[in-house]
Amino acid sequence: MVTQGGDAPDGRSTVRIGALIMMARSLITTMEGTLEQLQSELARFGQDGTPTDTRLDALREENEQLRGAIAARGVIEQAKGIVMAEARCDPEAAFCLLVDRSRSERRKVRDIAQDIVSAAALHEAEGSVARIYPKRGDVAQ
């Protein structure tokens, strides 16, 4: 083997070069192992840096909340309609009334809405019974 200057390396240089090559190979092996560990750890994290298990749990919770909101939306819309009829107001004002009552009672809007819808249904049912089975004094003669 010839060096840059054209001289052949002596025995010490050959041993030293061999040792450096072995150290380099050992370092490469260590770096490859570290890289594999790093890639494995990175695979556990999402793009935002949160662990994917945590991110998945957060997405599941958000999905559950959205499903609840969608289910509650129908009841809230019914309650808005009832409030609109009783208070003679527009949909926005009806919703504001629901929100105000929710805040004052420290309850969720959907729970207030459910109470309103249930009360209206009960009232309507009572009215239906009265129409079908009128009291004696209510019968037109």
Q: What is the pLDDT of residues 70-118, one digit of tens each?
A: 888 889 999 999 999 989 999 999 999 999 999 999 999 999 999 999 9
Residue 29 has pLDDT above 80, yes or no: yes
Per-residue buried b or exposed e for 62-72, using 16+ beta carbons within 10 Å of the residue's own CB: eeeeeeeeeeb
Percent of residues in the chain assigned helix, strand, coil, to nearest 5? 80, 0, 20
Q: Is residue 3 included in any domain, yes or no?
A: no
Q: What is the pLDDT of residue 92?
A: 93
Q: Is residue 2 included in any domain, yes or no?
A: no
Say whether both 78 and 108 belong to one domain. Answer: yes
Say whether both 22 and 68 belong to one domain. Answer: no
Least confident segment among 9-13, 101-105, 110-114, 133-137: 133-137
CATH of the domain at 97: 1.10.10
Say whether both 68 and 28 belong to one domain. Answer: no
Q: Is residue 97 included in any domain, yes or no?
A: yes
Say whether both 27 and 70 belong to one domain. Answer: no
Q: What is the pLDDT of residue 126?
A: 65
Q: What is the pLDDT of residue 78?
A: 92
Cα separation, 68 vs 74, whole angstroms = 11
**141: pLDDT confidence band, cut at 50, 70 and 90?**
very low
Say whether both 34 and 94 belong to one domain. Answer: no
Tokens of 27: 């370092």
Q: Is residue 58 included in any domain, yes or no?
A: no
Q: How many domains does the chain have?
A: 2
**Nearest C-alpha neighbor of 101 from the set 83, 118, 121:** 83
CA angle 121, 123, 127 (to 5 degrees): 115
Say whether both 74 and 131 belong to one domain. Answer: yes
Least confident segment among 39-43, 59-63, 64-68: 39-43
Q: What is the pLDDT of residue 6?
A: 55
Give the domain extent around 28.
Answer: 8-42
Q: Is residue 109 included in any domain, yes or no?
A: yes
